[in-house]
Amino acid sequence: MRPPLSARLEGFGTTIFTEMSALAARTGAINLGQGFPDTDGPAEVIEAAVAALRAGVNQYPPGPGIPELRRAIAVHQRRFHGIELDPDGEVLVTTGATEGIAAALLALCEPGDEVVTFEPYYDSYAACIAIAGATRRVVTLRPPDYALDPEALAGAFSARTRAILLNTPHNPTGKVFTRAELELIAEHCLGRDVLALCDEVYEHLTFDGREHIPLATLPGMAERTVTLSSAGKTFSLTGWKIGWATGPRELVAAVQAAKQFLTFVSGAPFQPAIARALELPDAYFERFRADLQAKRDRLCAGLRAAGLDVFEPAGTYFVTTDITPLGGTDGHAFCLSLPERAGVVAVPTVAFYDDEAAGRPLVRFAFCKRPEVIDEAAARLAGLRS
């Protein structure tokens, strides 16, 4: 019999998030692996979903998303980024950014096309590029600052490059791409007639006053960029899976052409609730960011005290570390033994690299947890030094 899994999906196995969350569940360790908050999102947003459920908002919503949410997404893009969008045609509601990324790659790539992306990469990128029949060309970002190497970037493009898939703020490194880096990326896209897919799910999670710059706001880029984002991180509602794709009409229509056969539509009762969330006052976003920055500082201090080499993130839920100072070289083995050694679960960053040597000693920890949970994890990790 032929093996059940298609060749396209061979080698992708079970995601590292599933593996590590299962390890946490099995061992009772503190889960700083998979990135999800351990507190609920805004009460008024949850109440809006409850009200929608009770009001009978339980059947298929319109394909592109309910008008109220598409309008709220367009208003959000103008309010925070100065991006003008027509909610009718330039905004598509998706089942999380995950679906938006998959639909965009399926819609825009031909088999044989190449997609440039950065490693460490979010794991679904590699899988979805493969499902689309395209090939990934990977540019390695290296600690301590994960700065973009212009030569490596130039070397990743070829005559077959269809798109660049960028994530800023970046998971797992916590890097926020600088304007100069984005300008360089834009220069390649414009010069080579390449599309851009920009995953901005951490758009509100930047620290120390750093600015998140959407790639679509660079000169000439709006016409060729599909921006993907989602409510999951910004509102601590990762299980709701409401995301969106925005950009020029023809590109969004292409993404919708794929989306309609993936999920057809996305979570009806959550859509009006996320429309409410996007309209929350600035104070919500500022407070959320400040809280998360304090959590970052708390966990980074704990990880440093435990003896790890810490690469302080400028954004996201995550901090990456190098385990070498503790005598380790293999992040995956380290993470498998961590529940027993310290009662904590983390994610081996090597799972997000093609160049395994570059990722081998790196381990990612999530700090989107209550302060007391971070403190307890830090106290447990302190024992690693001995």
The footprint of ligand GLN (CB under 6 A) covers 15, 17, 34-35, 171
217 interacts with, out of ligand GLN, ligand PMP, none, CB within 5 to 8 A per kind: none
34 interacts with, out of ligand GLN, ligand PMP, none, CB within 5 to 8 A per kind: ligand GLN
Residue 243 engages ligand PMP in binding (rule: CB under 6 A): yes
293 interacts with, out of ligand GLN, ligand PMP, none, CB within 5 to 8 A per kind: none
Task: Spell out, one character per residue from 200 to 229, where the chain touches ligand PMP: x when CB under 6 A holds, - when not.
Answer: -x----------------------------
How many Å separate Cα 266 from the centre of its chain? 19
34 vs 256, beta carbon nearer ligand GLN: 34
Question: Do residues 116 and 137 make contact, with C-beta atoms less than 8 angstroms apart?
Answer: yes
For tokens 């440093």, name the residue: 304
Instruction: Please tell me whether residue 196 adopts helix, strand or coil conformation.
Output: strand
> Quick one: which of 137, 118, 126, 134 has its CA closest to 175?
118
Q: How far is the CB of 124 from ligand GLN (least distance, A)?
A: 7
167 vs 206, beta carbon nearer ligand PMP: 167
What are the phi and psi torsion angles at 92 (to 5°)? -130, 125
Residue 313 engages ligand PMP in binding (rule: CB under 6 A): no
**CB contact set of 11 (below 8 Å; sequence gap of 6+):** none
15 vs 27, beta carbon nearer ligand GLN: 15
DSSP string, 8-53: GGTT--S-HHHHHHHHHHHHT-EE-SS---SS---HHHHHHHHHHH
Binders of ligand PMP in range 118-137 (CB under 6 A) = 122
Question: Do residues 335 and 305 make contact, with C-beta atoms less than 8 angstroms apart?
Answer: no
Residue 171 engages ligand PMP in binding (rule: CB under 6 A): yes
Residue 230 engages ligand PMP in binding (rule: CB under 6 A): yes
214 interacts with, out of ligand PMP, ligand GLN, none, CB within 5 to 8 A per kind: none
DSSP string, 225-273: EEEEEEHHHHTT-TTT--EEEES-HHHHHHHHHHHHHHTSS--TTHHHH
Binders of ligand PMP in range 130-169 (CB under 6 A) = 167
Q: How far is the CB of 101 from ligand GLN (least distance, A)?
A: 11
CB contact burial 141-165 (16+ within 10 A = b; e otherwise)? bebeebebeeeebeebbeeebbbbb
Residue 199 engages ligand PMP in binding (rule: CB under 6 A): yes
**CB contact set of 311 (below 8 Å; sequence gap of 6+):** 143, 144, 145, 146, 173, 174, 319, 320, 321, 322
**249: its two tokens:** 């009409």
- Residue 18 burial (CB count, 10 A): 12
120 vs 214, beta carbon nearer ligand GLN: 120
Q: How far is the CB of 344 from ligand PMP (least distance, A)?
A: 20
**CB contact set of 343 (below 8 Å; sequence gap of 6+):** 27, 28, 29, 30, 380
61 vs 328, beta carbon nearer ligand PMP: 61
Residue nearest to ligand PMP (CB): 96
230 interacts with, out of ligand PMP, ligand GLN, none, CB within 5 to 8 A per kind: ligand PMP
- # binding residues, ligand PMP (CB under 6 A): 13
Instruction: Pick the piece of the chain touching ligand PMP (CB under 6 A) from 84-92, 96-104, 207-215, 277-285.
Output: 96-104
Which residues contribute to the site for ligand PMP (CB under 6 A)? 96-98, 122, 167, 171, 199, 201, 230, 232, 238, 241, 243
